[in-house]
Amino acid sequence: MRLAMSSVALAGGTVMWLAAMVLAPKLALAATPGPFGGGNGTVSTPYAIATAAQLEYWDSHQSAFVNADFVLTHDINLGDYAWTPISQFNGTFDGQGHRISHLQVDSSEEPAGFIANLSGVVERASFSAVKIYGSTFVGGVAGIVGPSGVIEGCIVSGLVASDASAGVGVQPSVGGVAGVSFGALSRCTSRVTMADSPIGAEGVGGLIGFMQSGSAELCVSTAMLNAPDSTGVGGLVGRMAGGLLDDSYATGTVAGLTDVGGLVGSLWNSSTVQDSYSLTRVNASSGRAGGLIGDQYQITDVPTVLSSFWSPTLSGHLTSDGGQSLSLSQFHSVQTFDNPAVGWDFTAVWDRKTTVNDGFPYLRSERPASQWPGWAVPLIKILCIPVAVAVILLVGKAALKRRRKPE
């Protein structure tokens, strides 16, 4: 009873205490010593990055954090900061759904991207309004994704390109998310633009430039690719020499010299493409092109294309070196895909609604276009503070009235 009376008598203090507790994470973050917003760089207690200055500190002290783990706790605008690609990263960078905007890279060193060589994990991060220029291996998230590298749940939009001075002895490969990949990409979306890739590029893709091995699944590209002097140009993967591409699709436009495809430009060896489709507009200036696959090459093994489709109407191509053509009405029917002969999973993987994705199949893992922008969640948290305070005041007043009633 005494405790209850003290709480009522100190209602104002209780409110102040609660407000302090709500604001505590922000106050603690501002007061935390060291270059980051907290943590010690381990899996259980990763370094917290909340400001552009903290992100830039990592960039300027790369060698000290090769194996560290990070979490992004706020959206960050890098402004005019010239980012130097993280040379080697073996840890985990978890964006927690936050956005890094205006990432700017202009590097003559190889590879180029947010990270140069990725052997760790980058997940749940958006990179918007990027401007990334490199020479040989260029990607929005990573120039090269190693065999143990993972990129999951990332979105890239902006400009990714290889400059004309590239390619001394090595053919450039450029991708919206990864330049070259031996690893795993999952639930990634590319909304990049590529313009005038250098002469001799072999592997220009909306998602991955050159996929050597590994996998890409549940991925989407709406990229606009203009690589008139390049070979192996694809809406999702430019050149695929191995690995698995599964449950993914591409739209947008692609233009190249030869081996140009709506989904994959050139498909080699034991590569497998399955349960995927393309609506990409395809243009080849002087060579092979296809609505889904530009060309297939058999050197040691035969590539496999299973249950994958393209639209002749939208691609501008009646043929493809693999896959099956569909009419627009067939694309708009779930029965086309969700049957024993085709076997797409419309329970856990795919869905179709007339009002979503223009009626074409879409992935359930995609972020909806109506998702709140990055600033919305912190704003809602701030607006909740006065609401919480008001509720406590009302409760306190009610308790005080009960206390004052004569017995």
pLDDT higher than threshold 90 for residue 393: no
Give the β-pairing of 362-363 and 350-351.
antiparallel
Q: What is the pLDDT of residue 172?
A: 85
Q: Show the tokens assigned to 175.
A: 């991708």
Look up tokens 């830039």; give the residue. Answer: 56
> In Å, how far from its chain's centre is CA 224?
16
Average pLDDT over residues 379-390: 46
Instruction: Give the tens place of pLDDT for each residue, 111-166.
Output: 999 999 999 999 999 999 999 999 889 999 999 999 999 999 999 999 999 875 44
pLDDT higher than threshold 70 for residue 96: yes
Instruction: Count Cα neighbours of 42 within 13 Å in the Cβ-side half-sphere.
Output: 3
- DSSP code string of 29-54: HHH--SSSSS--SSSSSPEEE-SHHH
What counts of helices (H) and strands (E) characterise the chain?
Answer: 6, 38
Percent of the chain with pLDDT over 70: 79
Task: State pTM to two decimals.
Answer: 0.82
Number of other CB atoms surrounding residue 169 within 10 Å: 5
Which region among 6-20, 77-91, 207-221 has the lowest average model confidence (pLDDT)?
6-20
Q: Show the tokens assigned to 100.
A: 């890094």
203 closest CA partner among 136, 291, 271: 136
Instruction: Give the tens place of pLDDT for each residue, 273-329.
Output: 999 999 999 999 988 999 999 999 987 778 899 999 999 999 999 999 999 999 999
pLDDT higher than threshold 70 for residue 31: no
Across the chain, what does the average pLDDT equal? 85
Average pLDDT over residues 344-372: 86
